[in-house]
Structure 1
């Protein structure tokens, strides 16, 4: 955030504001990326330059509010309030409301081409489903509400925030966390795994075997509109911006059915393309497979004509242990083969290290360093192995609504902003 003057050029002033106006100011300043003190300064200056006072603001229940202003501005403001025969509290409220009216909330930036994120790893149990859900939830959070986000790009700082000492989670360095507006995007989560973990974790029901499914649409045998299978997730928190396409156990036979389909690599794209106009981001939770279904998922995440590098692609989820490294090699080999065979660009969006716990000692710390050393793709997220995720799964609620201030939630928001 920026400020027109440095802190030592300012003087502290104390007044009062109603809580609702203070909160609106806090959110709007964050949306525009400026300091609250700069917004107040601009509002007071604009209000003093008016020919007359603006409409009165309800200041009932006003409570203490302090900020820093350029030297002399507060005294000039006091004179203007006296001339207009309004109290300092009312003048300040009008000034801030004037700034809010002059600086409306920015529109959510929506991609021209729906972004497609393929969350993958051939190894099971690394937490692809948790990352898929957390990433989608973070992208769908309200743009008019502030959320705790770890903003530091230094992995060492992220590590310190996730460490546990003496069995007690360390309090994070406040410099590592900032309150930021949510992206406010329309997000579709696609459960592409026949085990239905994403569907079950978010409290939805797997699709029945005798009904319609994504598998049927990919195999060219749809029984209806795929849009009719989509369910909304946790409307109270995400206000209808987060949706799920549930899985069906028939996906266990997907590779067999795809073997008889022409241009089978494009089967997932053909199925999901009609939905893209409704969403800003589509995130696919892939099964732990190196079969035809993974080929179809990787192809769906390829870079399309007119799409910038890094807008869509593969997000690889790993753990800080040796078997994840073996699986990583298998997955990247498959993606590289697909790139070469079909002459397409499939971008890596990064590596998310999940379920990290430094208490596991040398294996965990050295493995993490190994992921960091890869550089391309780089590590874009570090999520600790803490209890909140497991609790959210148990009660079948999204992590970011169940424990929005947890370290894992803060890490998911950081991951979302790295991927964006």
Structure 2
């Protein structure tokens, strides 16, 4: 059905909503594969025609921002005035109406046994694997999925950016569990990531400095019979506790990356595209060269191990059309590949850099920014 408005002609609207209503909206929109701004728009359009709606408790409301078609908010305010309700109440009733009219499909959906495994990888550093994997994990958790985010890069940028410390080299770690050198359960190393609407749904497995040695140790250890299975064997005990396991991979073509690729393979009985790899890239030639090397590695591994690895798509990061022909023509080339598709284009904005600076998750620091919305789009596409 064609929308009765130009989706590009929108105005930002800020109101206050109770946290539970805001969370319910984000979860439902994600379940139905709908942008939040479109859900709110549909709710307001329906609210304007409805009568006798119950009052929504908006006490304790916090800031909520979205974008409405130009002019719609003005109409909403006039309707609120005539109905003698506040603007916040009008938007709350609209959202409640949309939620009641669009029930969750989850009870009818077949449940995936165990976690879906999504790795974010590219041989080239500096393309935004860390920022994109973290943002998508936050968006998945925000939409109600129990999500584990793993810092699998020995540089530990993900761990540091979220305000956590790397494990000491003498401590238990994921690397030590992979090499069967650790005691205790891997679950003991998980830390909850707090803040935003993803709280209580998102955990981090921090990096450890000993991960620099993982490639060399995997090459020589006899503790792991099939080295490519080392990551999977370590993470198996955690899988039933999560809906998604997101892995921020190192910029490497070594054994460590092989273990991550193997972990993301399509398992027996698993629907194609349930798990796989997302490839963050930049709109420039060096990313294309790096992708060629990664693709060759994937091809070699799939042939040697007789497995399938789903290429879920590219995320073109830090895109700025003002950089001219190099950027625009490169983006065209990524789009022209077709399979895998471009899942989303992340604009070059200050939000992510500021979030790193203040050591906060992006969806906490700038929850209504364009970059956060793109992360939600990627999450929606890979979880569909």
TM-score normalised by L of structure 2: 0.76
Query: Does the Cα contact within 8 Å between 1:186 and 1:241 map onto a contact in 2?
Result: yes
The alpha carbon displacement at 1:392 in A equals: 0.2
Q: Could you tell me whether the CA contact under 8 Å between 1:189 and 1:245 is conserved in 2?
A: yes
Question: Within 5 Å, which residues of 2 pair with 1:41-80?
Answer: 66=79
1:225 matched to which residue of 2?
185
Change (3 A) 1:248 1:60: closer
Aligned length: 333
Shift of 1:196: 0.2
Q: Does the Cα contact within 8 Å between 1:43 and 1:99 map onto a contact in 2? A: no
Task: State the partner residue of 2:153.
Answer: 193
Match of 2:164 in 1: 204
Query: Partner of 1:115 in structure 2?
Result: 116
Against the structure 1 CA distance between its residues 37 and 2, is the aligned structure 2 distance closer, same or farther, given a 3 Å change threshold? Answer: farther
Give the conservation status (yes or no) of the 8 Å contact 2:196–2:363: no
- Residue 131 of structure 2 is matched in structure 1 by 130
Q: Secondary structure at the match of 1:317?
A: strand
Paired with 2:254 and 2:166, the residues of 1 have a C-alpha distance of 22
Task: Classify 1:258/1:365 alpha carbon distance in 2 versus 1 (closer, same or farther; 3 Å).
Answer: same
**Cα-Cα RMSD:** 3.6
Mapped to 1, the partners of 2:337 and 2:102 lie a distance apart of 43
Q: Does 1:336 align with 2:343?
A: no
How far the C-alpha of 1:97 sits from its partner, in A, is: 8.7
Contact kept? 1:113, 1:307, Cα under 8 Å: no
Alignment map for 1:294-373 (pairs within 5 Å): 294-373=257-336
Provide the residue aligned with 1:162 in structure 2: none
* Rounded Cα–Cα distance in structure 1 between residues aligned with 2:245 and 2:203: 10
CA–CA separation in structure 2 for the residues paired with 1:215 and 1:113: 22
Aligned to 1:140: 141
TM-score calculated relative to the size of structure 1? 0.70
Alpha-carbon deviations, 1:121-144, whole Å to 9, x = none?
000111100001010011111xxx
SS in 2 for 1:288: coil
- Decide whether aligned partners of structure 1 residues 394 and 104 sit closer, same or farther in structure 2, where only a CA change above 3 A counts: same
For residues 265 and 406 of structure 1, the distance between their equivalents in structure 2, rounded to whole angstroms, comes to: 39
In structure 2, distance between residues paired with 1:97 and 1:385 = 34
Match of 1:169 in 2: none
Cα distance change of structure 1 residues 395 and 285 upon mapping to structure 2, 3 Å threshold: same
Report the equivalent of 2:174: 214
Structure 1: segments with no counterpart, 5+ residues: 8-17, 48-53, 68-86, 142-182
Task: Give the superposition deviation at 1:258.
Answer: 1.0
Q: 1:103/1:213 Cα in 2 relative to 1: closer, same or farther (>3 Å)?
A: same
Q: Does structure 2 conserve the Cα–Cα contact (< 8 Å) formed by 1:211 and 1:223?
A: no
CA positional deviation for 1:101: 7.8
User: Which residue, out of 342, 355, 370, partners 1:407?
Assistant: 370
The match for 1:263 is 226
Q: Which residue of 2 aligns with 1:275?
A: 238
